[in-house]
Amino acid sequence: MPKTASVPASAAKKHGFWAVLKKYRAFYLMLIPGILYFAIFKYGPMWGLTIAFQNYNPFQGVLGSQFVGLAHFKRFLTSPECGQLFRNTLLLAVFNLVFYFPLPIIIALMLNEVGNKWFQKIVQSLIYIPHFISWVVVVGLCYIMFNNQNGSITQLYNQLTGGQLNILMSATAFRPMIVIQMMWKEAGWGTIIFLAALAGVDVQLYDAAYIDGATNFQRLWHVTLPSIRGTVVTMFILRLGKFMDTGFDQIYNMLNAMNRDVGEVFDTYIYQLGMVAGQYSYSTAVGFFKSIIALVLVIITDRLSKNMGEDGVF
Amino acid sequence: MVKTKSLGYRAGMALIYILLALIALFCVIPFIHVIAASLSTPEYLASAGFILWPVKFSLDTYRYIFSTSTVFHALGNTVFITVCGTVVNMIMTVLMAYPLAHNYLPGKKVINFLVVFTMMFSGGMIPNYIIVRGLNLINSYWSVILPGAINAFNLIVLRNFFAQIPPSLEESARMDGCSEFRILVQIILPLSMASLATITLFYAVAHWNQFQQPLLYLNDSEKWPIQILLRQMVILASGAGLGDSGAMEESYVVPQQSVRMAVIVVSTVPILIVYPFLQKYFTKGVMVGSVKG
């Protein structure tokens, strides 16, 4: 960002606080709504985290409720749910990394090979669409196709095999379904960032490799992949940093009595306990715990990516 | 680029074309199925299976869902929230991004840090709920508009865009005695139309698809947006719904399969219709966003 010469940065020091305020009053006035927004709706809830250390009572408010220290954290860490939530979150994250993560890269590599621009454009337009569909609709489509009474794919399967397909109410099918939905919704959209990286590869490198007698596979291995390595590493690290983010909308809508054991994650657990059962303080403590782990993960992955010579996450 | 035309290469290319075509098909086939089925005569649907073309074309299902006010009402709520919410989003985001685009503004760094910090750490669901309830916004449309009024990521994208506009433009306007607000509205915004369009679209789609906030803050079924109604009609009514005793549960007559499909189509079609016109902006927006904050 170029510095403007006519307004010295040291203006703040030369003149007093009020002089600065007056000089930039238009800018500060514009900032007021935004600052109020962040103060109330972003930092307000952080202050509200104090109820994690209390037995919050809506009538006594955040200031008047009884202080109980770390009792809620202790209760959560020693409860069986703690291990279960971690296991479910971890497994979903691993499934995502193994099965979902490579997919956008592979699709981008294939799209990059396609010579026919017209075909390329059409495929791109079609695979971006699911990204704009809400999770409720994605899960809804799943219910319509797989619901065990009259789902269209269930019917087809049952007619063909004589068996009884039961995907939505099955605990074993839960994780694969979550990952497949993720693939369907986001894999196409995820190619954009890799396609941009691929577009930046110097064509001369390919020509040089060709003249040197490199096979197609060798060119892919020695030219294409090294040149998108940075993007792949950054995206991988970003995903690690978002380890705790198991989309609430998707999982909440996929959960039912039969798959709750494998499907329950932090956000759905917090919703269930806080909003449905009204245990405000305990569920806030669980959420606080989750947020801290997420923050630590982001900081670690940011360091990691800077150490590997890539851009930091921020 | 020079290309080998060996048999192996051609076979490989053919495979790539076929795979890509299959992937593209996989992405749109659920829509085709649902649209085809919702346009079929409901009685034939039960035995039709996975159809991709209407069986005995009929608009009965659509006539039915629009004969009751439920779906219409929920769609109206969603349109209202999307329009008002996006206007609030844009005004708030532009007003905050523009001053922050000036490096020399004292205090800019602190504000920037405080904004970025909210992307890494948040109070979480229950404290958010307590704030919204404390402001008496529960069951008000404001409860799904105000808590997300500024998206930190969009704010940073827009700020970066404003920052790369040559400062000489505002300088000369300032010399001529133009007020900061007029500079923003008459000089900066007209130069930023593409970015503004992209961010407007991101906000609008987010509002249209919003689920968690209305689930938390709108208990009054009169105020439900279409996404919440969808959950009630498609997911809970399928008999496999979450066994919670949430405040949302209402005794719905279990809708027929074709009605569920029609509701999905109706709630998705607006996005599918605008999509082709806006695709260019959407993809551009991702690339703008990949520039570091």
d(Cα A87, Cα B135) in Å, to the nearest integer? 37
CA dihedral for B118, B124, B125, B126, sign (positive or negative): negative
Q: Give the pLDDT of residue A281.
A: 94
CA distances from A300 to A94, A291, B5 (A): 18, 14, 48
pTM, entire model: 0.88
Same domain, A102 and A227: yes
The C-alpha of B228 sits at a distance from chain A's nearest C-alpha, in angstroms, of: 8
The residue of B95, B109, B125, B142 whose CB has the most chain A CBs within 10 angstroms, and thus the best one to mutate to test that interface, is B125
Selected residue with higher pLDDT from B285 and A50: A50
Q: With an 8 Å Cβ cutoff, are B123 and A49 in contact?
A: yes
A2 inside domain: no
Looking at the partner chain, which of B230, B243, B286 has a beta carbon nearest the beta carbon of A192? B286
The C-alpha of B293 sits at a distance from chain A's nearest C-alpha, in angstroms, of: 6
Quick check: A152 contacting B, CB < 8 Å? yes
Q: With an 8 Å Cβ cutoff, are B20 and A44 in contact?
A: no
Same domain, A78 and A221: yes
Amino acid at A219: R
CA distances from A94 to A177, A300, B251 (A): 14, 18, 39
> Which of chain B's residues have a Cβ under 8 Å away from the Cβ of A169?
240
The mean pLDDT value of chain B amounts to 86
Interval B139-171: pLDDT, tens:
999 999 999 999 999 999 899 989 988 888 888
Confidence of residue B34 (pLDDT cuts 50, 70, 90): very high
- Tell which A residues from 30 to 49 touch B, by Cβ distance under 8 Å: 30-31, 33-35, 37-38, 40-49
The C-alpha of B30 sits at a distance from chain A's nearest C-alpha, in angstroms, of: 7
> Which of chain A's residues have a Cβ under 8 Å away from the Cβ of B124?
45, 49, 270, 284, 287-288, 290-291
Same domain, A50 and A199: no
Q: With an 8 Å Cβ cutoff, are B49 and A159 in contact?
A: yes
The mean pLDDT value of chain A amounts to 87
Task: For residue A50, give its domain range.
Answer: 11-67
A244 inside domain: yes
- Tell which A residues from 226 to 255 touch B, by Cβ distance under 8 Å: 248-249, 252-253, 255
d(Cα A19, Cα B254) in Å, to the nearest integer? 67
Domain end (from A67, A91, A108): A67
- Is pLDDT above 60 for A7? no
The residue of B4, B6, B27, B47 whose CB has the most chain A CBs within 10 angstroms, and thus the best one to mutate to test that interface, is B27
Q: How many CB pairs under 8 A join A and B?
A: 308
Same domain, A18 and A136: no
Same domain, A24 and A120: no
Same domain, A43 and A146: no
Residue B57, beta-bridge partner list: B40
A220 inside domain: yes
Looking at the partner chain, which of A37, A45, A193 has a beta carbon nearest the beta carbon of B127? A45
Token pair recorded at residue A285: 């403590």
Looking at the partner chain, which of A4, A12, A128 has a beta carbon nearest the beta carbon of B167? A4
Interval B92-113: pLDDT, tens:
999 999 999 999 999 999 999 9
> Which of chain B's residues have a Cβ under 8 Å away from the Cβ of A191?
none
d(Cα A201, Cα A219) in Å, to the nearest integer? 12
Q: Which of A83-87, B15-19, B274-278, B283-287 has the lowest mean pLDDT?
A: B283-287
CATH number at residue A291: 1.10.3720.10
A126 inside domain: yes
A194 inside domain: yes
The C-alpha of A222 sits at a distance from chain B's nearest C-alpha, in angstroms, of: 17
Same domain, A80 and A59: no
- Is pLDDT above 60 for B257? yes
* Total number of domains in chain A: 2
Q: With an 8 Å Cβ cutoff, are B27 and A126 in contact?
A: yes
Q: Which residue of A has its CA nearest to B101?
A: A1
Domain end (from A20, A45, A67): A67
d(Cα B291, Cα B286) in Å, to the nearest integer? 9
Report helix, strand or coil for B227: helix
**What structural domains and CATH numbers belong to chain B?**
7-58 (no CATH), 67-289 (1.10.3720.10)
Same domain, A62 and A172: no
Q: With an 8 Å Cβ cutoff, are B235 and A248 in contact?
A: no
Looking at the partner chain, which of A111, A210, A287 has a beta carbon nearest the beta carbon of B20? A111
The C-alpha of B67 sits at a distance from chain A's nearest C-alpha, in angstroms, of: 22
Q: Which residue of A has its CA nearest to B163?
A: A1
d(Cα B37, Cα B22) in Å, to the nearest integer? 22
What average pLDDT does this structure show over A193-217? 85
A159 inside domain: yes
Token pair recorded at residue B92: 């708030």
Same domain, A153 and A283: yes
**Cα–chain center distance at A236:** 12
d(Cα A102, Cα A114) in Å, to the nearest integer? 19
A86 inside domain: yes
Interval A105-142: pLDDT, tens:
999 999 998 989 999 999 999 999 999 999 999 999 99
Closest CA to A187 of B208, B20, B290, B273: B20
Closest CA to A242 of A192, A184, A182, A197: A182
Q: Give the pLDDT of residue A178.
A: 95
A3 inside domain: no
% chain B with pLDDT above 70 = 88
% chain B with pLDDT above 90 = 53
CA distances from B161 to A12, A37, A86, A181, B291 (A): 25, 22, 40, 34, 10
Q: Give the pLDDT of residue A310.
A: 63
Q: Give the pLDDT of residue B246.
A: 39
Burial of A32 (0-12, 13-18, 19+ CB in 10 A): exposed
Same domain, A294 and A153: yes
> Which of chain A's residues have a Cβ under 8 Å away from the Cβ of B121?
46, 291, 294-295
Quick check: A103 contacting B, CB < 8 Å? no
Domain end (from A67, A82, A110): A67
d(Cα B201, Cα B195) in Å, to the nearest integer? 10
Same domain, A194 and A150: yes
CB B184 within 8 A of CB B98: yes
Interval A61-84: pLDDT, tens:
778 788 899 999 999 999 999 999
Q: What is the DSSP letter of A277?
A: T
Instruction: Determine the length of chain B.
Output: 293
Report helix, strand or coil for A192: helix
Looking at the partner chain, which of B103, B127, B246 has a beta carbon nearest the beta carbon of A48? B127
> Which of chain B's residues have a Cβ under 8 Å away from the Cβ of A109?
none
Instruction: Determine the length of chain A.
Output: 314
Same domain, A150 and A55: no
What average pLDDT does this structure show over B26-43? 91
Closest CA to A259 of A156, A166, A151: A166
